[in-house]
Structure 1
């Protein structure tokens, strides 16, 4: 088996799972304890171990078949299945290319020149490539004791238990993703250090741009004298939109030893195929709210079953390195049921690689506040830091799924996990068989979101609204359906609940933030065919309540 220098062999034996159901505060929780491995698998020495793999031509986006169930992570693009742990490196490279092409946009290789400095308070990064340059910096907080320290990059400084991280013995690198990829920009005029190098019209979305920034921070740490921070012990975390960035960052840079996304929601951990049936933020909403996802994903917001890749394979891209997914079962808008399916599907790759003890998914929490520092996570957080960054611990992985939002992997797959050998396969290659394209539709996951409002007739269109709420805020998704004549433009009016304030909206222009608010189409979604529909959405602070939208068309 081929390994990176200093990287331990991955055992191929499947890890036994011991599963039990427990009841806490009247809510049943699925608890799966994964026996600890002898040692955590170290991070790779390079950003992309599969950079030299020969990846076949990718499928054409316009002719992709509809496959209702999750793609088989063990089946190559040529239709054959991997048989050895050493095959995973190049299979992962295929998944990476698919994810870049159809979901996130390309993450470029290391730029021509990366320089910078590391001090006890700051990291500076300077990048030059093809005649263009950019720079950014990040703040450093050291724990007590003497270094060099492992470090956890915290995206956005929001939701992460930084006190717990430092108490465990790791430094905190406070990284501002907006310096590298700014939100609030149109797709054809993206801004930030990444786009200063690769162009404002780059088709790469913000999540990969943010991941690129973390990779450049690691480059600078590698170049430093190592007296302050260790280059071989980096973690990444973030909550909400920064949780989306954290899981993408860990998937796309194999030097990251520990990836810890928190409540990442749509465009993060939840499987794309499951989001429409769960009542989570819709894919069109996530795509339109910010340019988080790559431009190419716009073709799949209404047909995720056409995607040749899904987020269980994003989870698998992290394997066999440390992964701790923290989720909130109380907010359906975050898609926790679909996130649990992604974790369970990705865990099958971990198990096949003999690294089942390196993945944890934890949605068994009592407080439903978005991005709260939860006592349930403090101990496993510190255990993961000890195991994967300090390399002094051996705590086992665990799957703790709240029954409030428990996904069922069996409903989403028609493939089985192979027993991979620990030696390279023989030179003979079986004849490829075409991947199945006729999988039956899965049972739709039940939705915990409120029922949509009844359509209110208007001049040429109708509108319905669905709301996902949490303590102190809510997200509303509004579906606009054209009448028999279609529309060339539309306007939706509604009165938001008393005390509520609209803070952001997507896929629509907005007039007003409270009381009677009016939304109208933007350039790309005003024309709707007869009987067809489009969606827009908004987020608000305050308490959710009934809203009755009216729709008029032009």
Structure 2
């Protein structure tokens, strides 16, 4: 699918998406075109309550997806809904607006757009093995994976300065950072969506800067905790990312908002919408309206994960930190995995949950799956086994409680 990257537009603009989707700011809100029929984005008041994880295969017009072509259309709908209600909108910035300059293992990204100019630097650590131009893992803030192992595979590691692009100090950070210098402090984009926009500009720069010796067609993204939420947003809204590895991303990452609310009712201390919207600016400002009504969301994190499909996604999680809601992450991942199964590529989505270590301290026990995913999806080695859906926790995937839909075999 190539159309979703055209979805995003800033307020007051109109972007026609190859007769499939229209996303624009109008007096009536955003509109989606599906199968030739224009549909208004639903208002919060019109959203029905649904305690179960919403059916990712059900179109806004009520029809169910039966083909891969229809699934591509459904992804554009999910992307629009996720931007409207959770992330805010990713501006449609042409690649021609960005240039890159390379010096001293650093690429300087310059963006001239919207009558403004911004610049940021991304440092690159190169492997001593492998072949130029190198595949690379982009770390949101930094990579907390086993970077030595990544480099030994012949893959570079790029540090993306997300806090410069959009601040995330606390709830008062909204509208601060380079992104908002360009688009205004009142832009709908949350910090995570601003980071996704910034990584897209980094990729534009890498494509134009051969001196950097990075293969822009072989890129992955990672980040841990709050930056793991950002890594998922990058993978969901940037199709040039081949491999997405959110590490211990918790709420707004691997954990479903609905399941986490249920965990609170069961006496668990986990992060929910009502708490997260007061802590920081990782989601758009009006996401707070779902603080006590997560069951009104027309999607959940399993659907956000599904925006990555059929590209590769590996969730790295930790059973030892209750705040991350490991039970919710396990349930959400199993529901999301059904999308890759429907597409006939179940080995492109994995989940590994291992405890007995500190937050963001990558354990050796998860190195085999990390290595396998990098080898297969960044190094084009089809030998490794990437079928991994595992947890060392005692929780179970109670599908009947959370899923009332079946996954079709998409033609």
Higher helix share: 2
Give the TM-score normalised by the residue count of structure 1: 0.65
2:254 to 269, 287, 305: 269
Compared CA separation, residues 245 and 227, structure 1 to 2 (3 A): closer
Residue 142 of structure 2 corresponds to residue 157 of structure 1: yes
Aligned to 2:41: 58
1:256 to 241, 246, 249: 241
Query: Secondary structure, in 3 states, of the residue corresponding to 1:288?
Result: helix
Give runs of aligned pairs for residues 227-266 of structure 1, distance below 5 A: 228-266=213-251
How far off its partner does 1:282 sit? 2.6
Give runs of aligned pairs for residues 81-96 of structure 1, distance below 5 A: 81-96=64-79
Aligned to 1:368: 357
Query: Secondary structure, in 3 states, of the residue corresponding to 2:356?
Result: coil
Residue 113 of structure 2 corresponds to residue 123 of structure 1: no
- The answer to whether the Cα contact below 8 Å between 1:49 and 1:254 also exists between their aligned partners in 2 is no
How far off its partner does 1:49 sit? 8.4
Compared CA separation, residues 212 and 420, structure 1 to 2 (3 A): same
2:103 and 2:234 mapped to 1: Cα distance?
23
- The answer to whether the Cα contact below 8 Å between 1:208 and 1:249 also exists between their aligned partners in 2 is yes
2:262 and 2:392 mapped to 1: Cα distance?
18
Residue 309 of structure 2 corresponds to residue 326 of structure 1: no
How far off its partner does 1:191 sit? 1.1
**Cα-Cα RMSD:** 2.0
Aligned to 2:329: 339
Query: Secondary structure, in 3 states, of the residue corresponding to 2:215?
Result: strand
Aligned to 2:383: 394
Query: Secondary structure, in 3 states, of the residue corresponding to 1:286?
Result: helix
1:371 and 1:419 mapped to 2: Cα distance?
36
- The answer to whether the Cα contact below 8 Å between 2:173 and 2:280 also exists between their aligned partners in 1 is no
Aligned to 2:181: 196
Aligned length: 378
1:134 and 1:406 mapped to 2: Cα distance?
48
- The answer to whether the Cα contact below 8 Å between 1:211 and 1:249 also exists between their aligned partners in 2 is yes
Residue 214 of structure 2 corresponds to residue 225 of structure 1: no
How far off its partner does 1:157 sit? 1.9
Compared CA separation, residues 245 and 223, structure 1 to 2 (3 A): same
Query: Secondary structure, in 3 states, of the residue corresponding to 1:390?
Result: coil
Aligned to 1:484: none
Give runs of aligned pairs for residues 160-175 of structure 1, distance below 5 A: 160-175=145-160
2:196 to 211, 216, 223: 211
Aligned to 1:290: 280
Compared CA separation, residues 377 and 226, structure 1 to 2 (3 A): farther
Compared CA separation, residues 87 and 49, structure 1 to 2 (3 A): farther
How far off its partner does 1:158 sit? 5.3
1:277 and 1:390 mapped to 2: Cα distance?
40
Compared CA separation, residues 195 and 409, structure 1 to 2 (3 A): farther
Residue 64 of structure 2 corresponds to residue 99 of structure 1: no
- The answer to whether the Cα contact below 8 Å between 1:238 and 1:260 also exists between their aligned partners in 2 is yes
1:180 to 154, 162, 165: 165
Aligned to 2:11: none
Give the TM-score normalised by the residue count of structure 2: 0.87
Compared CA separation, residues 49 and 294, structure 1 to 2 (3 A): closer
Query: Secondary structure, in 3 states, of the residue corresponding to 1:404?
Result: coil
1:118 and 1:296 mapped to 2: Cα distance?
39
**CA displacement 1:191-230 (0-9 Å, x = unmatched):** 1111111111222111111111111111111112376000
2:114 and 2:280 mapped to 1: Cα distance?
28
1:206 and 1:169 mapped to 2: Cα distance?
31
2:257 and 2:339 mapped to 1: Cα distance?
19
2:207 and 2:373 mapped to 1: Cα distance?
22
2:65 and 2:289 mapped to 1: Cα distance?
30
Residue ranges of structure 1 left out of the alignment (5+ in a row)? 5-43, 422-554
1:284 and 1:321 mapped to 2: Cα distance?
32
Compared CA separation, residues 73 and 226, structure 1 to 2 (3 A): farther
How far off its partner does 1:344 sit? 1.0
1:406 and 1:91 mapped to 2: Cα distance?
29
Residue 367 of structure 2 corresponds to residue 378 of structure 1: yes
Compared CA separation, residues 313 and 397, structure 1 to 2 (3 A): same
